[in-house]
Every structure is written in C-alpha cells, then in structure tokens.
Structure 1
Amino acid sequence: MNRLNLFAPDVRENPYPFYAELRRSSPVCQVDPNGMWVVTRYDDLLAAFKNTQVFSSAGMRVATEPPYLRRHNPLSGSMILADPPRHGALRGLANRAFSAAAVGSLEQHMRSTAARLADDLVRRRSADFIRDFASRAQISALARLIGFDPSLEERFERWTTDLVSVATISPEDHARLEEVRGTIDEMEQYMLDLLASRRRRGENDLVSDLLRSRNDGDGITDQDLISLLFLLLVAGLETATSLMTHMVLILARRPAWLDRLRAEPDLTPRFIEEVLRFEPPVHATVRLTLAETELGGVRLPAHAVVALLIGSGLRDETRFLDPDRFDPERRDQANLAFGHGAHFCLGVFLARTQARVVLDELVRRCSRIELRADRLEWNSVLNTRCPVALPIQVTPTSPGAARERPAVQPSW
C-alpha cells in the first residue's frame, strides 16, 4: 500500500478525510515525506505530549539546523526545542513576554491597528487578507511588545518565511541555502544591535525588561535572549497569522456566522475557540523518540521522527461529537490547539486577544466577506496549514450597525 504523503496537493488542500482514514485503520504509522511516523488520535497525542522523557523536543534541532545549513541557527536554541530541565529555565525567561499584564497593556494598540486596517479594507473593498491585514496586524503587535522597529515589516515577513523553510530545503539547492544563511546572519545582527541599544538606553519593552531582570548567576546568555527573540518573531507571526486567516476564511464560507456574531457579540469567544479546534494554528508538532516505545499499540523505534498531528486529534470522533461540523455552540471545546503539558504555548492569551480584537473590528464594519478565488494555494510547512494568500472582497455594514456593536470582553 502506498504511504500517505502529507505534502501532496490534495492532502494539503483538505487533509481531514485522510486523517480520518488513518485514525480508523493506522492511527500510528509511517508516512511521507521520508517515512516519518504520525500520531493521529487525541488520546495518543496527549500521551506523547506528556512523555517528554521519550518524546524529545530537543532531538528535533536537526530540523532547524541540518548539517547542510553549515551555520548555527539561533532558533534551534529556543525553548520549543529544549527538554526539561533546560526547557524550564528558558520558559521562565519567556514568561515575561506573555503575562496577562503585558498583553492587557497591548490590547488598545492591537485594537487601534485592527480598526485602521479594517477601515482600509472596507475602503478598498478587496485585498489579500494575509498580506494586507493579518501579517501587518501581528507584526505591529509583536513590534510594540518586544521592541522591534515596525518599519521593518517586510523584512520580518521575509525572515519568518526563510526560517520556517529550513527543514524543507533540499541539500542540493545551494542558492536557496545561501539566501537562508544570509537571512540568519541579518536577523542575528539585528538582534545583537537591539540588545546593545537597550543596554545603552532602556525602553518600555520586553528586551529592556529582560536585560534589566537578568541575573549574573541565572545562566542566561545573550545567545539565549537572541534565540528567544527569533522564536517570538517567527512563531508569533506564523501562528497568529494562521489563526486570523482561518477565522476569516470560515466567515467567508459560512456567512450566516457573520450575522450571528453581529447580533450576538457574546458568542465571539466561543467562535474563536471553535476556530482553534476546527483549524488549529499549530497543525502539527514534531518529536524524536529517545528510546523504543509503544504508542497506540504500535512499537516505535528509538530515534524515530514523530509528527503529532494536532489537526487530526482535534477532529477525533471519539473525543468530539460530529467533529467535521463547525459549531461554536458545541460543549466539547477542550482542545490541544496550543499544545499540552510542558510545551503548552505561552502565547495563548496574546493569540486569543488578537483574534478577538480583529473579529470585533471586522464584524463591526463588514456585512459580508467573500472569497475571491476558486481554489486556494496552501503552504508547504508541516507545523502550520495556511493558504499562501487569501483574496477577499467585503461589503460594508451600515454606519449605524458599525457603531452599535460593542467590543467583546474575553470570557476565557
């Protein structure tokens, strides 16, 4: 029997029927590319997330720093590629970025940015939502939170695209590898200059806070700080953009929900939670087995590359009733969209806040959102599943409707 190829065009376009078949017949099995193992059932995913002694994150550093890259990649030193106890020290460092207080102080900035972008969208009537809205909204938020220069927006997008492509570049593609090496050089120099600038003159941002609070005996180096900044930019931009994009794509395909949200704004938090289940921003995450183990009744060898298919687990019919139906009113919303256990995503509050603010401002201004493409092109990245572009056209609400809808307060 031919192995499923996760990057085949029909699988990328709609992987969920393929995942359902795997859950039924081969819930833990090998697939292409490269014969990696996949885990597809909710309970098996939970078991793997909890067992950090066997399912190692640090073992997957080769994905961000393959030998043919021929240089250090600071992303490989970040907390998502660390196991306990090292992971705990790095996570403590990152906690400062995503505290409720830090995100709360950022909300008004996110709202004013979303309002400006939404006004521009309504004025133009059509746009690529990813390029013209989602990426710009998240870059603005990250720049404000961390202390990056927001005028470098296009550079940040290129950096992120290059960094997430490292694992998929062929060793023979020398020109592309040289481009990515140049990107890493450029990013690292920017981060070093940023640290030096904040040492000379502190600002009210995360970088300054990290430098002020770091103790000589805590073992945290400048390289650790740079790895954290790489992670915050790349992961923060990629996952939040994916969440906003799927949120708008769902509204375009299910226009009745735009009307419901306008009439019943208290449904907004539950709508966002269902988007997270239905199209999780982190579609898969990868581990390396440190020893032979059993999962889902299957023996996995030591040193096996294992993809935990979160997107499949959140459609598991043994955990969710009618899982392929988008239903914000469902009662079984508990999910793995932000991971589980030691690696539960620190950016969860920021992502939910950004989604809520963006949804508020779009629903306030748009009576209809229409998809302007017969077929979407999808990215070729294992960790996220997102269209490359999302061309949309919007119909404005009446001025009265735009004024009347209140901003929604979080309920999570």
Structure 2
Amino acid sequence: MNGTLFQQILDPANRADPYPLYAEMRRTPVSRQDDGSYVVSTHAELYRLLHDPRISSEDLPDPPLFRWTGHPLSDLFVRPVRSRITARHRPFIFRDPPDHDLLRRQVMREFAPARVRAMRRKTEQLTHTLLDGLRDRTNLDLVDDFSYPLPVTVICELLGVPREDEPRFQGWATQLATALEPDRRTDRENAGRTEEAFTAISDYLRGLIKGKRRAPQDDLLSGLAAEHDGERMNDHDLVATAVLLLVAGHETTVNLITNGILTLLRFPEHLERLRREPEVAPRLIEELLRYEPPVHYRTRLARADIAIGGTTIPEGAPVVLLLASGSRDPMRFADPDRFVPDRANNQHFGFGGSLHYCVGAPLARIEAEVALVALAQRLQAPRLLADPPPYRPGASLRGPRHLLLAIDAVAPGASAELAA
C-alpha cells in the first residue's frame, strides 16, 4: 500500500496538496518501495537518519522510481560533472566526509555573518526596486514578476558577478532550472539547451574565477578563490559550488517566497499582522519552513544495514528522506496541519539537517523576511486569482509555477531612501 502511496506523491496531479498522502505514509515510518528504495516519513526516524554516518550522499543510483522525478539537482550536476570532469569534483552536497567537510568549511567561512548581514541592505534595495516596477499594475504573476528575479540577482551580488553580466546569469538560471522539471527531461531539444547553458556558465565562471584570483574583491567567489590557512578550493570545485549556489539557492528561495505569500493569502489575518508587525517575520518564516517548505524530500544511500522504524534498510538501498512529512508529524508537532506562526520549539526540516544542513539558510531567511514584509506592506488588497495555483511538476522542489494575483495598487516604497 505504501509503495502505491509514494507513487501518488510523485504524481503531478497531487502536487497541490500532498499532505494527506504524507499522513498515510507515516502509518509505516519506513516503507520499502517496489524498486528497492525505502521511504522514511516520520520525524523521529528522519532525525536519526540525518545524523547517521551510514547514510551517504555519494554515488546515488538511478532507481526506476526516480527516472522521471529525479533526485534534486542530480541530472544537472551529478551526471554532467561525472562525465565532464570527475566524480571527485561533484558539488559538496553530493559528497561525504572528509571531502564534504573540507569544502563545506570553506564555503561556510565565506558565508560569514558580516557578509550575510550586509546582503540584507542589498536585498532591500532589490526588493523595492522590483516592486517599484510593478506600480502601474493591477494584476501580476508573483513568480515571474518578483519571486523568480529577486534571488538570482541576490546570488549574483553575493558571488561578485559584474552587474552587466547579471542578465546572462538570469537566462542560465532559467534554463538550468528546467533540469529540475520532470516533464522536460525527455525533451531532447530542451536537454541540449540545458547542456549548452551548463557549459556556458561553467566557462564563464572559470574566466571569472581567474580574474578573482588575480584581483580579489569583497565577494564570496573571491573569498573561495583565495588561500586560507594553506587551503584553497580548486577551479573545478569552485565552478561546481558556484553553480550549486545559483541553481539550488535560487529555486528553493523562489519557492519559499511564493509558498509564503500563497499561505498568507490563505490566512489573511496573518498577512495583516505581518503588515502591522513586521517584527513577527522571523517566527512566521520558521513556521512557513515547516508548513509549506520549498524542499520536500532528499535522497541518500545506505552504506550498511540500518535497523530503524520496525524494518531494516539493507546496505546499498536508496533512501528517500520525506522531510516535509516529518515536519507535519503529529508525534512531534501539536496540530501539525495548522499554520501557527508563534509555534514554540519549531524543529522543522525546512533546511534539512546535520552535515547537509543548508549552507545558505541565513541568506534565505533574510531574503524571505525582506520580501514577505515588503509584499505585505506594499501590495494593496492582494487576491488570489487561482487557488490552488498551477504547480511545477517536481515533487521534491515543490512550488507554484505561477501565482496570479489581483491587487488594487502597489504602495510607494522606500527605494529612494535605500538607494541613498
């Protein structure tokens, strides 16, 4: 029965509301699928496996269950990188210790609190500039008009991409994101365009890195390219890391912002509270990460037999960590299907956990906070034109493809003051 349930979760027809299916999955905390993979759906078991060194992120197989849904970013990174350079140079999220730990330490050093805090001001400027451009509109698509362009511009600023090159990055990000959409993976013409985009951005980044090594600036890519305590990231790892930050950070933040506004429009009392009391934003965002997270599952590989949840996951089996299900587990959260922004002790899996906890989480929180507060305060009488909205087909990186809104107006903002 649970094998059939997970097939239903993967079915795009259930993308708008997979949560009843998750509740059914939790009746069997660890369930074997017909292809030999194991789905883990309860909070306690997910927490254990996230911290279990026998669970690996490397060398994931391609079981039949995932041939059309895919591991997040696997088609984009793992296969091209394996063929174009070597498995040793995959992005660090697809590597285990000690390689993972070394690369993650280098990235985390550059995500220093001071740099992340400095990005808040820039994010505010970009947010209000985008909203200023919508001031003559009474209908908008939040995804195309706001949620999609904001994160890629923030990431370009973070990496140190010259302003004149940002349009190229937006085009590459748009194309590379199609590798995450199951219905585009059998489109050979689109696959060719994706490979071209991957090649183009890799070549561009190699040139940019060369320049950063020669003349460092105060940006993340310069920091990663520099030597620290005898350590320096090689060019292959630098390219893989930069593309990872662009695509993974971009897509998840798009979903976080869009899911956030969709949820607030469904619960207008919380939208109004955010408008009046922007200081509630950090707690509200933590609840959004639990209630409507941007990432719903990740896949791993069992490196040994693991007894858990009343069954044994055999060595070599793919493991699906159904994180969004764990974040709605009634054994861990009271009234888990209610949106409660003041929820205490909110130990969600919105950013994963343990070794692979999202390195960009502090920046994503800032982007979401700035964006949601600005939207709450500047969009006048926003209304959903379609509920549920159309969703991207992917079950893992889950978010609306479009979010059509009617508004009375976009109120004046603080753009001039911020620019000054």
TM-score by length of 2: 0.86
Give the superposition deviation at 1:187: 2.0
Give the superposition deviation at 1:219: 6.5
Identity between Structure 1 and Structure 2 (%): 33
Aligned-pair RMSD on alpha carbons?
2.7
Q: Distance in 2 between matches of 1:343 and 1:97?
A: 17
The aligned counterpart of 2:150 is: 137
The aligned counterpart of 2:32 is: 30
The aligned counterpart of 2:368 is: 355
The residue correspondences of 1:4-403 to structure 2 (distance < 5 A) are: 4=5, 5=7, 6-24=9-27, 26-31=28-33, 34=35, 36-52=37-53, 54-60=54-60, 63-64=74-75, 71-72=83-84, 77-148=90-161, 149-165=165-181, 169-170=185-186, 174-213=188-227, 218=231, 220-396=233-409
Q: Distance in 1 between matches of 2:331 and 2:241?
A: 37
Letter of the 1:294 partner, please give it: A
Give the superposition deviation at 1:60: 2.5
Q: Per the alignment, in what secondary structure is the counterpart of residue 44 of structure 2?
A: helix
Pick closer, same or farther for the CA change 1:61–1:203 going to 2, 3 Å: farther
Q: Distance in 1 between matches of 2:111 and 2:13?
A: 37
Give the superposition deviation at 1:61: 7.6
Give the superposition deviation at 1:371: 1.4
Q: Distance in 2 between matches of 1:208 and 1:126?
A: 41
Give the superposition deviation at 1:185: 1.4
- The alignment of Structure 1 onto Structure 2 pairs a total of residues equal to 396
Pick closer, same or farther for the CA change 1:276–1:316 going to 2, 3 Å: same
Q: Distance in 1 between matches of 2:267 and 2:219?
A: 39
Q: Distance in 2 between matches of 1:89 and 1:334?
A: 27
Letter of the 1:47 partner, please give it: R
Residues 85-104 of structure 1, C-alpha deviations (whole Å, 9 max, x = no match)? 11110101211342211111
Pick closer, same or farther for the CA change 1:167–1:300 going to 2, 3 Å: farther
The aligned counterpart of 2:66 is: none
Pick closer, same or farther for the CA change 1:378–1:398 going to 2, 3 Å: closer
Q: Distance in 1 between matches of 2:360 and 2:295?
A: 12
Q: Distance in 2 between matches of 1:68 and 1:156?
A: 16
Residues 15-68 of structure 1, C-alpha deviations (whole Å, 9 max, x = no match)? 1000001112x2211347x5532110000000110012x210113386446769
Q: Is the 8 A contact 1:236 1:347 kept in 2?
A: yes
Q: Which is worse superposed, 81-90 or 186-195?
A: 186-195
Q: Is the 8 A contact 1:162 1:180 kept in 2?
A: yes
Pick closer, same or farther for the CA change 1:209–1:9 going to 2, 3 Å: closer
TM-score by length of 1: 0.88
Q: Distance in 2 between matches of 1:29 and 1:378?
A: 27
Give the superposition deviation at 1:377: 2.2
Q: Which is worse superposed, 234-243 or 160-169?
A: 160-169
Q: Distance in 1 between matches of 2:222 and 2:142?
A: 33
Q: Is the 8 A contact 2:176 2:198 kept in 1?
A: no
Q: Per the alignment, in what secondary structure is the counterpart of residue 15 of structure 2?
A: helix
Q: Is the 8 A contact 1:61 1:81 kept in 2?
A: no
Residues 132-186 of structure 1, C-alpha deviations (whole Å, 9 max, x = no match)? 101211111101110223222431332431443589835xx54444333222212
Q: Distance in 1 between matches of 2:365 and 2:82?
A: 38
Give the superposition deviation at 1:248: 0.8
Q: Is the 8 A contact 1:57 1:288 kept in 2?
A: yes
Pick closer, same or farther for the CA change 1:29–1:211 going to 2, 3 Å: same
Structure 1 unaligned spans of 5+: 408-412
Q: Is the 8 A contact 2:137 2:409 kept in 1?
A: no
Q: Is the 8 A contact 1:321 1:332 kept in 2?
A: no
Q: Per the alignment, in what secondary structure is the counterpart of residue 226 of structure 2?
A: helix
Q: Distance in 2 between matches of 1:349 and 1:70?
A: 30
Residues 376-397 of structure 1, C-alpha deviations (whole Å, 9 max, x = no match)? 2222334311111111122347
Q: Per the alignment, in what secondary structure is the counterpart of residue 320 of structure 2?
A: strand
Q: Is the 8 A contact 2:212 2:222 kept in 1?
A: yes
Pick closer, same or farther for the CA change 1:334–1:375 going to 2, 3 Å: closer
Structure 2 unaligned spans of 5+: 63-73
Q: Distance in 1 between matches of 2:101 and 2:373?
A: 36
Q: Distance in 2 between matches of 1:113 and 1:141?
A: 8
Q: Distance in 2 between matches of 1:239 and 1:398?
A: 27
Q: Distance in 2 between matches of 1:74 and 1:233?
A: 21
Letter of the 2:56 partner, please give it: S
Pick closer, same or farther for the CA change 1:70–1:266 going to 2, 3 Å: closer
Give the superposition deviation at 1:344: 1.2
